[in-house]
Structure 1
Amino acid sequence: MTPSQITLFSIFALMVAIMFWGRWRHDLVAFAGLMAAVLFGVVPAEQAFSGFGNPTTMIVALVLIATAGLTRSGAVSRLTRMLARDGRSTTGHILLFGSVGGLLSGFMNNIAALAMLMPVDLQTARKAGRAAGLTLMPLAFATILGGMLTLIGTPPNLIVSSYRNQVLGEPYRMFDFLPVGAAVATAGIAFIALIGWRLIPVRRPQGDGGGDRPRRYLARLVVIESSNAVGQRIPDLRDIAQKAGVRLVGIMRHGHPVVDQLDELTLAQGDVLLVRAGPAALDEYRSAEKLAFPDGRLEPRARKDSEGQSLIECLVPVGSEIIGRNAQSFGLVNRYDSVLIGMRRRGVALRDALSRQQIAAGDLLLLLVPESRAEDVLRASGVLRLDGGSLPVQREGHMLSAILLFALAVLATSLGWVSMPIALGCVVIAYVLTGVLSINELYDHVDWPVVVLLGSMIPLGLALDQTGGTALIAGLLARATDGYPAWIALLLLMMATMFLSDVLNNNATTIIAAPVGIRLAQQLEVQPDAFLMGVAVSAACAFLTPIGHQNNTLILGPGDYRFGDYWRMGLPLEVIVLAVSIPILLIVWPL
């Protein structure tokens, strides 16, 4: 080995060890590795930040923003509401949610797909008296599998497409991944639904859905002309609310509570519902029933949706400017265009005349704030935003435009009219112009640690290839399989990539393994596509640990899992992935 190769292999080995240790974040470790490579002279200084301008890095960032528009418009929530139904068996539930989660992951970020389906899954588990751990891991694995369906489904697909463009002069198209990805996803989800979930250890008692119970507030929602509630009777409305995790507490008409013959009342435009719910369930119920938040006046009217809004949970600390005042005297509505939606004091949700309630230290406030004014409101009032206490309000009026714009981008890319970065960039601009997303929230939806990780790892991967490091690894694999068919080398490469992806971030794994796959194909004198596709599949399939993929980490707490639980279902699943993908690869992409 040359001194440059020794230096790079040492940097990579140290990075892998530190990442596996888990003390520091992957993006920080990758950036530190890049800086070390520049200082040791194995990465030219002028190329140090070339990864941040790489099309792959831009596509990952733009995909996150574009799919956030689908989430914000309520398109994904509407789909999940259509799926939620009581009485399904565990197998039926996993098969349905896994299939939908996998399909969504093919066209949007798989972390976002899991984040949208996970609350519905938790709620269904609670109603069914089933431990959430039985279905959360299958759902997470299904969304990972679904990412293999299309070019934009998962970053490893984008990375191998970029390497193919460098070697063969042409990237993969939108649905080039579909034949192999669909076969693997179908077999994997079928295994998860029929057998896999039975291998998961269950620790929580039946009926505990897992996760922390959200703080519930007494809030008001206004019935508008287009509301589903218009013409409904109270018993029917109460049942619908209960299924959404919301409790209907009372009704107000013309500013006065309705007391007599409540069950005989038929709702009309302008009526106000008093409900008890957590912030997420409150907005979900409002969106589903086409209700409106109040405008903050003493006699509530529907608030106009003029721009993006957020529900923010805040704690009133000692010394806050708002202590001793009420929302009305503070000017929450008139000065900041914000509304006090709910209020809790000493663990009790307050009910009456919130705008006139004198605020005290220790109170919890649920505020509806325009995104452009959020920091102004928090700074002026001196309240503290609770960790994880911000929830973007769905803008269901923009649902159709969000779906059509995203579908048009997919179509344009599939037909080769424009490249993927340009199509997604146009979608992001159109989202802002049509009001799907506000310009103030665009950058909030970018997963910056992933961008830094990719931007740091791409120059390192290129340096490993340019110094002959990838050719050296490929030579070792070729010699290890000398005399055997080429598919044995493909199997060995995929197994090594899977193992590395289970202990390392899948994006970093792809950047290391993709050039090795190309070099290995060249040394075996076969076409590289099967090897590149094999790297994409195996890098995405990180099922043995909670650190191999963000979705695995996301379910760790709510599912009450331990580090050693993942391999029980993950190991046979990875074997199935190998058994299914290699024959399909050889058929679709012959050597």
Structure 2
Amino acid sequence: MGTDLILVLLLLGAAVVMFVMNRPRMDAVALIMIAVLPFTGVLTINEALAGFSDANIVLIAALFVIGEGLVRTGVARHMGDWLNAKAGDSQTKMLVLLMLASGVLGAFMSSTAVVAIFIPVVLRICQNTGTAPSQLMMPLSIAALMSGMMTLVATAPNLVVNAELMRQGGTGFGFFSFTPFGLPMLVIAILYMLFARRLLPRGTVLTGVLGQANLQTWVAQYGLAQRAYRVRIMADSPLIGQKLDDLSLRSSGVNLLAIEIGGRFSTEVIRPTAYTVLEAGQIMLLDVILPDVEIEALREKFGLQILPLGDGAYLTESSQEIGMAEAIIPADSPLLGQTVLDARVRSESGLTVIGLRRGKRVFDQDLLEEKLKIGDTLLVTGFWSDIRRLQSGTAELVLLNLPAEMEEVLPAASKAPHAVAILALTVGLMISGLVPNVHAALLGCLLMGALGCIDMNAAYRSISWKSLILIVGMLPFSLALQRTGGVELAADAVTAIAGNASPRMVLGVLFLITAMLGLFISNTATAVLMAPVALAVARDMGASPYPFAMTIALAASTAFMTPISSPVNTLVVGPGNYGFGDFVKVGVPLSLIVMAVSLVLVPIILPL
């Protein structure tokens, strides 16, 4: 063993120790290694920095941006809402659908991002169904890790292994080369978790709204449930062609909150103004402070068709566009002494007063004619942009409470069809091979920005620079170990361990080493180190490199055994209230199952 190799191994060992201690943070360790490796004389500084120009680094960054486009447009959340509706109160059905949804979505975007998206969805589901979060959080993380086995771009280790394979003269894997392994693995994981959930802690059932009011709370508190209507303007309606200012709906006890206009692919919700001209077919969202008999008279008078509200109470299905807030009347407010009708809050702020509370008393039918007093609490509704302006403070009102739903408003909800189309185009280009994968991903990013799914600031924020720096910092080790004979030494050690065993047993040894190394350092760093070793073993044995490369990729995604094996696991520790032992007793058996299935499937699908 030469001096150069000893120095490289010492630096690698130091990096592993710092990874385990998490001091300093992983990306800082990677930068330290980039700076120190050239002093060994094995690499030049340009070679140590070469990872920054690697096409796969750009590809990973671009995939983060495309994933953020899916988040900002609500594609990911719609999937979560869908599974909530489909599962109902069945915890078994919820577990299956949750793992399927996160597994499928994670095939096209970062598994870490998938878990981050679904955590609040799962918490809402647990609160609504009385399920302890600990029963669903670990299944979520396991499915997200399994999604890394679904496609070439599903996780960084796949791209790292594929890049090493191509550097050594191979043609690389196709976009769906991983799918024959990932789909069975996901199904097995779901079946396993239906049994293994008994090993999870029962945890605490969530009740109520955690520290913040929500729209449903206010609907009940202010008695709004029976006041909401969706009505369509019929072709013979006398409202057609009239301006809202000429109708005086407010003085009649009718608040027009918004107008829905149906588009070819989606519905647009617009803000009504005094100059808005009504047209046939438009749908009006109304808050009506009238008895039911007058509602029917209003329908007949104006030629309206009453439509169902759907599952949402008081138009909360439109909560991506329309929200509520509570505000109080300060001592120096010019609204003091005025009635709600005379105050004309809407003309000043764009917000409509739909509720009035004084102490414990809530005003209902007499809302419009009640004179305002100091300390009165007004419930206002309107578009979120108007509510945000209220946050800056006005002389008339002081913001008191904002609902939890405000944090869930999607910045580009109307662009969901565009985001899905862009994702389909990007994946199609990758599958077709018309352009390199990185080129397809860059085109997808540009289209996301051009069509308004994401802006530049959000795009930069979406990229996990920590992950990219980690990969860039570990790549020089691969080159350094090859130059100093470290890769061949490791390959010889693997061969010695396996002895005269069959190639399948050698794959098992490689899988086990990769999975065990992943207990201490990130699965991406593990893939960087183990991919060249596996390919060297294949070369020494005169075997095809593809099953060896695939084994490393699958093993790198088998990071179920500890909460620090992957950021995906770390994310669910808090919400699931898990301990270290919970991951061990659930993750170790699953890892052994995945290894066994891999050793059966890999030689069959990718012959040795």
TM-score bucket of the superposed structures, by smaller chain? 0.7 to 0.9
Q: How does 1:414-453 map to 2 (within 5 A)?
A: 414-453=431-470
Q: 1:230: Cα distance to partner? A: 2.3
- 1:24 alignment partner AA: P
User: What count of residue pairs does the alignment treat as equivalent?
Assistant: 490
Q: Is the 8 A contact 1:287 1:394 kept in 2?
A: no
Call closer, same or farther: CA 1:12–1:127 in 2, change over 3 Å: same
- 1:422 alignment partner AA: H
Q: Is the 8 A contact 2:563 2:583 kept in 1?
A: yes
Call closer, same or farther: CA 1:430–1:285 in 2, change over 3 Å: same
Call closer, same or farther: CA 1:214–1:500 in 2, change over 3 Å: farther
Q: 1:582: Cα distance to partner? A: 1.0
Output one character per residue of 1:534-578: Cα deviation in whole Å (capped at 9) or x when no partner. 000011111111111111011111111112221111011101101
Please, which of 503, 520, 539 is the counterpart of residue 522 of structure 1? 539
Q: 1:440: Cα distance to partner? A: 2.8
Query: Counterpart of 2:515?
Result: 498
Output one character per residue of 1:109-161: Cα deviation in whole Å (capped at 9) or x when no partner. 11222222222211111222221011111111111101211011111111111
Bigger Cα displacement from structure 2, 473-482 vs 115-124: 115-124
Distance, in Å, in 2 between the alignment partners of 1:283 and 1:42 is: 66
RMSD, aligned CA: 3.7
Call closer, same or farther: CA 1:488–1:254 in 2, change over 3 Å: closer
Distance, in Å, in 2 between the alignment partners of 1:504 and 1:150 is: 23
Q: Is the 8 A contact 1:341 1:366 kept in 2?
A: no
Q: Is the 8 A contact 1:343 1:365 kept in 2?
A: no
Distance, in Å, in 2 between the alignment partners of 1:535 and 1:177 is: 12
Name the TM-score, length of structure 2 as normaliser: 0.73
Please, which of 179, 193, 210 is the counterpart of residue 213 of structure 1? 210
Query: Counterpart of 2:62?
Result: 62
Call closer, same or farther: CA 1:217–1:492 in 2, change over 3 Å: same
Q: Is the 8 A contact 1:506 1:549 kept in 2?
A: yes
Q: How does 1:455-494 map to 2 (within 5 A)?
A: 455-494=472-511
Q: Is the 8 A contact 1:340 1:354 kept in 2?
A: no
Please, which of 552, 557, 564 is the counterpart of residue 574 of structure 2? 557
Q: Secondary structure at the match of 1:561?
A: coil
Distance, in Å, in 2 between the alignment partners of 1:111 and 1:454 is: 16
Call closer, same or farther: CA 1:253–1:283 in 2, change over 3 Å: closer
Query: Counterpart of 2:185?
Result: 184
- Asked if residue 2 in structure 1 is aligned to residue 19 in structure 2, the reply is no
- 1:41 alignment partner AA: G
Call closer, same or farther: CA 1:149–1:367 in 2, change over 3 Å: closer
Q: 1:296: Cα distance to partner? A: 8.3
- Asked if residue 94 in structure 1 is aligned to residue 91 in structure 2, the reply is no
Distance, in Å, in 2 between the alignment partners of 1:116 and 1:105 is: 11
Percent identity, please: 27
Call closer, same or farther: CA 1:203–1:589 in 2, change over 3 Å: same
Unaligned stretches of 5+ in structure 2? Answer: 220-227, 233-252, 258-285, 305-311, 326-344, 353-383
Distance, in Å, in 1 between the alignment partners of 2:573 and 2:595 is: 25
Query: Counterpart of 2:141?
Result: 140
Distance, in Å, in 2 between the alignment partners of 1:556 and 1:264 is: 55
Call closer, same or farther: CA 1:76–1:287 in 2, change over 3 Å: farther
Call closer, same or farther: CA 1:174–1:282 in 2, change over 3 Å: farther
Query: Counterpart of 1:330?
Result: none
Query: Counterpart of 2:48?
Result: 48
Q: Which has the larger radius of gyration?
A: 2
Q: Is the 8 A contact 2:149 2:179 kept in 1?
A: yes
Q: 1:191: Cα distance to partner? A: 1.0
Q: How does 1:202-241 map to 2 (within 5 A)?
A: 202-204=202-204, 206-207=205-206, 213=210, 215-216=212-213, 230-231=230-231
Q: 1:168: Cα distance to partner? A: 2.4
Distance, in Å, in 1 between the alignment partners of 2:579 and 2:462 is: 29
Distance, in Å, in 2 between the alignment partners of 1:519 and 1:298 is: 73
Call closer, same or farther: CA 1:202–1:292 in 2, change over 3 Å: closer
Q: 1:343: Cα distance to partner? A: 7.7
- Asked if residue 508 in structure 1 is aligned to residue 525 in structure 2, the reply is yes
Call closer, same or farther: CA 1:493–1:357 in 2, change over 3 Å: farther
Name the TM-score, length of structure 1 as normaliser: 0.75
Call closer, same or farther: CA 1:433–1:301 in 2, change over 3 Å: farther
- Asked if residue 574 in structure 1 is aligned to residue 591 in structure 2, the reply is yes
Distance, in Å, in 2 between the alignment partners of 1:402 and 1:100 is: 18
Q: Secondary structure at the match of 2:576?
A: coil
Q: 1:257: Cα distance to partner? A: 7.9
Q: 1:216: Cα distance to partner? A: 3.3
Distance, in Å, in 2 between the alignment partners of 1:5 and 1:91 is: 53
Q: 1:67: Cα distance to partner? A: 1.3
Q: Secondary structure at the match of 1:437?
A: coil
Q: Secondary structure at the match of 1:231?
A: strand
